Amino acid sequence: MTIESAIGNTPLIRLQAASELTGCQILGKAEFMSPGGSVKDRAALRIIETAERAGSLLPGGTVVEGTAGNTGIGLAHICAARGYRCIIVIPETQSPEKLQLLRTLGAEVRPVPAAPYASEKNFQKVAGRLAASIPGAIWANQFDNTANRSAHYSGTGPEIWKQTSAEIDGFVCAVGTGGTLGGVSRFLKEQNPRILTAVADPTGSAMFNFVTRGKLQTSGPGSISEGIGTTRVTQNFAGAPVDTGWQIDDQSCVDWVHLMLQEEGLFLGGSSGINVAGAVEMARFLGPGHTIVTMLCDSGARYQSRLFNRNWLRGKGLEPNSLRLAKAS
Ligand code: PMP
């Protein structure tokens, strides 16, 4: 077995607390078990394979990407395995754990100040220009390169369909590049158009308003979650058959992340907290007796200094409080 063949085919774990709370079966796809530790290994592998097949990435070539971290980590693993140079442009607001890991994996890391997409200094645009300036380099371009969505259309979606024995009523997850939701929703709707598909959107992102009202409008304060939330419709998300959505605040995210660790031993990152909170909203919307799938995108180990640091959380006005969660239900 190669490192590449260990990507994907992740277990689908029953989330006990969320299931008991709602009377639904809520299942989480354990993407944190992938070799690079996140859902983005799938996209990273497919992007590299597609570029190799197209002849744009040749032996000894360079892969450049702008990433909040996880795609870079996935790319760094595959570049090491296949002998490519890997350059990662990352907003300096991302967790120090991710920056350190990227360096350890052998990527050349170029932190840049956070800048909105409209700015030429935005990390994605910096990465694109950098790739164009290096001979033999490709820009992975995870946001608009639909190899990303394809990995979920032909991998994650069919896995979920098989693992639930086609008994699935809903799928919900957050959008970063939109590759996951774009690919999985498309595959599942083709199997059964009655499957409800939804976005779980952190505050400060525009996807909730886009999906529910057709307006690319942000609402609420910026979120502490990393790798998710966006203000534009990427090529990977364009045309995705997504029915509805819920906006999830940071307190719910923190509550779920801590509850899942304390009660189920699942150590997860913030986007997984947003996703599970979204699955609970969907369960309330559908009523008891339904099966809902979401994504457990990466591990809490990537966010120890933030999400699992009570002082850091307090500085953001957040308190992990699973009792509050139970009472609220
Ligand atoms: N969760 C985490 C932790 C991520 O890094 C990402 C990707 N940026 C996502 C969720 C969202 O996945 P996608 O890019 O497929 O929308």
Contact 280, 326 (CB under 8 A): no
Question: Could you count the other beta carbons within 10 Å of the beta carbon of residue 130?
Answer: 18
Q: Which residue has the tokens 């990152």?
A: 269
Taking CA atoms only, the protein residue closest to ligand 1 atom 8 is 227
Find out whether the beta carbon of 185 lies less than 6 Å from any atom of ligand 1: no
Find out whether the beta carbon of 174 lies less than 6 Å from any atom of ligand 1: yes
CA 172 to chain CA centroid, nearest Å: 12
Find out whether the beta carbon of 65 lies less than 6 Å from any atom of ligand 1: no
Find out whether the beta carbon of 176 lies less than 6 Å from any atom of ligand 1: yes
- Convert the pLDDT of each residue in 159-199 to its tens digit: 999 999 999 999 999 999 999 999 999 999 999 999 999 99
How far, in Å, from the CA of 107 to the mean position of ligand 1?
19
Q: Which residue has the tokens 């990662």?
A: 88
Residue 328 is predicted with a pLDDT of: 53
Residue 115 is predicted with a pLDDT of: 93
Taking CA atoms only, the protein residue closest to ligand 1 atom 11 is 176
Residue 152 is predicted with a pLDDT of: 98
Reported as type and span, the H/E element at residue 322 is helix 322-328
Contact 291, 24 (CB under 8 A): yes
Global pTM? 0.96
Phi, psi values for residue 90, rounded to 5°: -135, 135
The domains of the chain are located at 4-33+156-328, 40-139
Which of 40, 98, 121, 189 is catalytic? The answer is: 40
Q: In the numeric block, which tokens belong to residue 269?
A: 């990152």
CB within 8 Å of 276: residues ≥ 6 apart: 15, 18, 26, 28, 256, 260, 294, 296
What number does CATH give the domain 40-139?
3.40.50.1100
Instruction: Clarify whether 40 is annotated catalytic.
Output: yes
* Spans of the chain, pLDDT less than 70: 322-329
**Domain 4-33+156-328, CATH among 3.40.710.10, 3.40.50.1100, 1.10.3720.10, 3.30.56.10:** 3.40.50.1100
Q: Give buried/exposed letters for 96-126 (b at 16+ CB in 10 A, else e).
A: ebbbebbeebebebbebeeeeeeeeebbbbb
How far, in Å, from the CA of 297 to the mean position of ligand 1?
7
Find out whether the beta carbon of 68 lies less than 6 Å from any atom of ligand 1: yes
Residue 282 is predicted with a pLDDT of: 98
- The secondary structure of residue 32, as a DSSP letter, is G
Q: Comparing 4-33+156-328 with 40-139, is the CATH topology the same? A: yes
Q: Which residue has the tokens 């559908």?
A: 286
How far, in Å, from the CA of 173 to the mean position of ligand 1?
9
